[in-house]
Every structure is written in structure tokens, then in C-alpha cells.
Chain A
Amino acid sequence: MTIGGIALAIGVMSSAIAADPIKVGSVLSVTGPAAFLGDPELKTLQMYVDDLNNQGGLLGRPLQLVHYDDGSDANKANAFAKRLIEDDKVDFIVGGTTTGSTMSMVPLIEKAGVPFMSLAGAVVVVEPVKKWVFKASTTDRIAAERVLTDMKKHGITKIALLSDTAGFGQSGKAQTELVVAKYGITLVANETYGPKDTDASPQLTKIRNTPGVEAIFVFGFGQGPAIVTKNIKQLGITLPVYHAHGVGSEEFIKLAGPAAEGVRALAPALMIADKLPNSDPQKPVVSAYVKAFEGRWKEHVSMFGGQAHDNFFIVVDAVKRAGTVDKEKVRDQIEATKKYIGTGGEVNMTAADHMGLDMWSLRMLEVKNGAWVEAQ
């Protein structure tokens, strides 16, 4: 009986070891002001964790998603990061939806040594380089440089910047101010608007009356840029209008209506998935993601869900290459990521670059006949 008991115990233990899941930690802003970012991110992670489990898991072990919602509050993100590391003992972490949440988690993660893929936007996450922190998603600096490159190409040298007063716009504004000179462009007007403002015509009137403005650069996301675009047309301003990477969606065209015609905006290839030529290297990954996400959740994809996809698979690939979830080895493999094609572009990490994307990963789109097309 004793022998039987021991045998049983061993049997239970070994099956427990075989089924011992790989724990994917995640702190996302699924509710609160950043919910429109965190919600598709969580849905994407849930979907692919289920998918991988149906295909036999990772390294023969099932995946378990341990997720906390920080409610768009950076303080909570810090507490949850602690819980993920100390109580849940996760193998790696994907998430930190906002820059605030991410930066509040970074010190704990650096101390504990857990591979961390952030989904946040600002460049401070990966600059200066932190040993355990990676982020394969676009930054505001890349967006600013991409827009300025296009302006330079069109011979534009004097621009007006209109940015929102929330984190996204303010960070974008700071980055734009930092790099304009490099492109021989001067900011002759620099205005802001509140993300919930219902009218930006006073600011635009000011811009209209500023001599020498050759183009308007709008840095914001959500409904603000749509209102700004409408106001621009209403005031009879005919200057070229550029948007950063926060508006490349069907919703923007619907909100701005006919005023959107001719507007330029940045977006990852994901936002023009159905219009990409078959020769495009991103076509397969982008189409597969759109099909999977829209099939499962019955809603449109967003670039934020796409970023969750990319960051998740970069670490999954790293685990596969490492053949273990040993944290140090997984980290080294993430850093060795080369030519990973994701929804947001091609990722090439190095010891000095924990983001791995260049400015060409963002496509310059233009509204033509009421739809986004790639600008020529």
C-alpha cells in the first residue's frame, strides 16, 4: 500500500511537471482612459494563448496568462508587477499599456530580472537601454521623423504643430521639437488642444494668421484630430495636413467626413491590410492577424492589438530558440531577434536597440475618395 502510495505520488508529480504551465504575466489598462488601447491588447493575448494551447503549447508545456488590469493607473501597475514577480512567479511579462504604467514597473522588473515586453509608446522606455526591457512597438520619435522626412521631400520648411495636451500629444510635441532642426524645418506656430475639446478653430485661426506656414502637423489620437481636420476645412485652410500614428483608422474618416480628403497620416501596415500588395513582406502576418482577431472578437483590429501580437510572438519565438524559460537565456534570445516580421514592421533588436523598428515601419497613408491608401 505504501509502495502503491509512493507510486501514485510519483505519478501525480510527474504529470504535474509535464503539465506545469509557462506563466505569461501581463498588466494592461483594460479599463479607464487608456481602455481603448488595453482592451484589444488583452483580447489579442487571450486569443493567442488559447491558440498556442490548442496547438500543444510552448516547449510541450501549456501557457497560462496571468493578467491584471491597472485601470490606467500607473501606481496600480507597480503593485501588480510586484505580484506577478513575487507571487505568481511568471516567466515573462507582456504589457504595461501606457508609458506611465510601464515606467512604474521597470525598476521592479530590472531588479528581479524578468524578460519584459512593453506595449507603451514613448521613447523613454527603451532609451537609455535597460537590460530586461524591450518594446517592439512604434515610438513618437519615429513618427515625428517619418512625417518630417516626408515634409522635407515635398520641400516644406515652415510648419505649424498642433498637439493634444494629453501624454501622447505632449510626448510627440517634445520629440518633434527635438528633431525638427535635423530636417531643416522650423516650427513657426506651436499650439495645443485638449483631447476632449470640441472646437479647435481659435488655435487654427491663429495658425492661419501666422505668416509662412506651409503645412500643419497634428499630433494626437481619438476624436481630437477628426475635429481639428473638420475645423481646418471649415476655416478654408488649404495647407497640407499631416497626422501622426494615432488616426489611421476607418473611424477617423467616418468622423471627419469629406474634410478628411487628402489628409496624410502614419499607420502600421495593419491598418491597410486588405490593400497591401501580395508581394508585401508583411501581407501574410497582417492578414492572419486581422482574420483571427475579427473572427474571434467580431470587431475591427487596431494597431494596439497588433503591437500586443508582435511583442507576444517575439518572446514566444525567443523561448522556442532558447529551448527553455530560463530568464537570462530568453532575454538573450529576445535581444538576438532578427528580421521578425510583425504587424508593425520588421524588428531587428541589438544590444543597443531594444525596439528594433526603424521609421520606415510606419507607412505614410493618404485619404483618397474616402479611404486610406498608401501615399506615393
Chain B
Amino acid sequence: MLAQLLQYLFSGLTIGATYALAALGFTIIYNASGVINFAQGEFIMLGGMLAVYFTDAGLPMAVALPLAVLIPSLAGLLMARLTIEPIKGAETITLIIVTIGVSLVIRGAIQVWLGKGSHGLPAFSGDIPIRILGATLMPQSLWVLGVSALLVLGLWYFFNRTLSGKAMLATSFNRGAAELVGINTGRVLFISFAMSAGIGALGGILVTPITLTSFDAGVMFGLKGFVGAVVGGLGSGLGAVVGGLLVGVIEAFGAGFLSSSYKDAIPFILILFILFFMPRGLFGVKVTDRV
């Protein structure tokens, strides 16, 4: 029984870590612009697909992987510059629809360019499972969890200890006031998109050896990441991480104990409950609106 529980936990945490990275991507952009970027999943897919493309082209991992993070970051930057900034004054719902459009364009372009097939990457440090108390853990899972943890720490440092990070936080609290004290909120928008895309892409690369990737792999990652972000409380970094992990773990336990048929439904049922009982999510900031 313990082995079984542990197995579900490992499986859930690994997948949950990618949801957490996707949720962080949602959070960063939401804070900087109030937009929910539904193209976030596509950046995860881009990272995985480009890593496969570059390694297949014969580039060594040390070159291929940074390129596969860099290019999606540029794509994120371009997206902000070409589609979000020109209509900055528009209603949030319009901006959200624009991001859905962008996600369709990215997905379609990759489908035409790299085809409809599935692709994998070799695991970074071998395929020999580590046995812990009767359960097995793949070395690649440690990579996913470890890098995700480092990223979260890095982001915490960035937002709390650096000027640019603080400027982004300030923008998220009050854009007008931030502009008044001289923060370039336009630049904050670009940085947020580039960062989210880069984080997503990195997550996408890390899980590809475990989950495989294809042009449409981003859809589910995006949706589950979004659920993670909402469960944790939109706008909260800690919430995004906890929410993402929670979605992954609950999903794994649901598949193990209930039925695998309901696996994908579980996160969406979860979101309903959370929104019903805790409309601001687990770690959401309390806001009082004056009328």
C-alpha cells in the first residue's frame, strides 16, 4: 500500500512540476498585464519540439537546449510586441481572445513545419529507475523537480531582491502609480512575456523524455497549468507552484484510486470546488473593491 501511494505521489509530483511551471507563466503575465495568456501551453510545446528538432539536426545538447529556451522567449516577446501592446487599452476579455488566437497560430505553424507525429528526447541521465520503498522514480523526474525548484527560487530572488523584479511587482499592484514613479510598464510587459515563455519552454524540454511531445501537446499543459494557477490563487507565485503540484498529485491519485477514465476531469472538478468555497484560490490576495 505504501509503495502504491508513493508511486502515485512520484508520478503526480513530476507531472505537477510542469503544471506548476505553466501556472507560474500564467501568474507572471497576469501580474504584469492582467491578461490570462492561453498561449502559455504552446510555449511548453515549443520548448519540447524545438529541443527535438535541434538535437535531431545534430546539435549537441549543450547548444540545442539553450536554443530551445531562447527561441520561445523571443516568440513570447514578439507576441507581446505584435499582438498585446498595440491593443493595450482593450478590455481584458479581448486580450484573452487574442492569446487564444496566437496559440492557434503557433500550434498550426508547428504542425505544418514539424509535422503531426510524436517525438521524444533521450533522458538526461539514463533510464534506470531508482527504487525507493518499493516504488520507482525515474532520474528524469529528479531533473524536472530539481530544475523547477531552482527556477522557483530564482524567481523569488528576482521579484524580491532585484530592481527589475520589484518594478514588475510594483506594476502588478498599481500600474498608474508605477508609471508615476518612473517605471517603464511597457518594458515590464515584454519582460513578463519573454520570461513566461522561457520558463514554459524549459519545462517542456524537461518533461519531453517522460511524456513525449507533439504539436498539440501544449493544450492540456496549458489548461492544467491554468487550473493550477487558479487553484493557487491567480497572481500568487507560491500559489501557482502549490496549485500546479496539487493538480498533478490529485490527478495521479484519482487515476489510481478512482478510475483512469475520470483522470482529466478531476482537475476541472477541483477548480469548481475551489472557486465555490475559496473564490480567490488557496493563496489569493484579499481585495476589497469599493463601490
Contact = CB atoms under 8 A, between A and B. Distances in A.
Given A255-B212, A258-B127, A197 B263 contact: yes
Contacts of A226: 118, 120, 212
A193 B264 CA distance: 10
A194 B263 contact: yes
Contact of B15 (A35, A198, A203): A198
Contact of B117 (A191, A209, A251): A251
B71 interface: no
B256 interface: yes
A199 B211 contact: yes
B212 A227 contact: yes
Interface stretch (A21-29, A231-239, A269-277, A367-375): A231-239
B119 interface: yes
Given A202-B255, A206-B256, A234 B136 contact: yes
B128 to A, nearest CB: 10
Which of A196, A205, A233, A236 has the most chain B CB atoms inside 10 A of its CB?
Answer: A205
B26 interface: no
A165 interface: yes
Given A255-B119, A257-B120, A191 B260 contact: yes
B170 interface: no
Interface string A249-283: 00100110111000000000000000000000000
Contact of B116 (A36, A165, A255): A36
A199 B11 contact: yes
Contacts of A196: 216-217, 219-220
A236 B120 contact: no
A300 B253 CA distance: 40
Contacts of B116: 35-36
Interface string B116-134: 1111101000010101000
Contacts of B255: 202-203
A198 B119 contact: no
Interface string B230-260: 0000000000000000000000110110011
In which size bucket is the chain A interface? 20 to 34
A353 B240 CA distance: 58
A259 B123 CA distance: 12
A248 to B, nearest CB: 15
Contact of B4 (A35, A205, A223): A205
B129 A227 contact: no
A198 B210 contact: yes
B174 interface: no
A223 B136 contact: no
Contact of A251 (B118, B253, B259, B261): B118
A201 interface: yes
Contacts of B15: 198-199
Contact of A236 (B14, B119, B136): B136
Contact of B211 (A209, A227, A259): A227
B260 A193 contact: yes
A257 B207 contact: no
B216 A257 contact: no
Contacts of A234: 127, 129, 136, 138
B210 to A, nearest CB: 7
Nearest to A233: B127
B214 interface: yes
A163 B1 CA distance: 25
Contacts of A254: 120
Nearest to A193: B260
Interface in B48-107: none
Interface of A: 35-36, 165, 191-194, 196-203, 205-206, 209, 222-223, 226-227, 230, 233-236, 251, 254-255, 257-259
Interface of B: 4, 7-8, 11, 14-15, 116-120, 122, 127, 129, 131, 136, 138, 207, 210-212, 214, 216-217, 219-220, 252-253, 255-256, 259-261, 263-264
- Closest 3 pairs (CB-CB, A-B): A198-B211, A223-B118, A202-B255
11 contacts: A193-B263, A194-B264, A199-B11, A199-B15, A201-B11, A202-B263, A227-B211, A230-B210, A255-B120, A257-B120, A258-B127
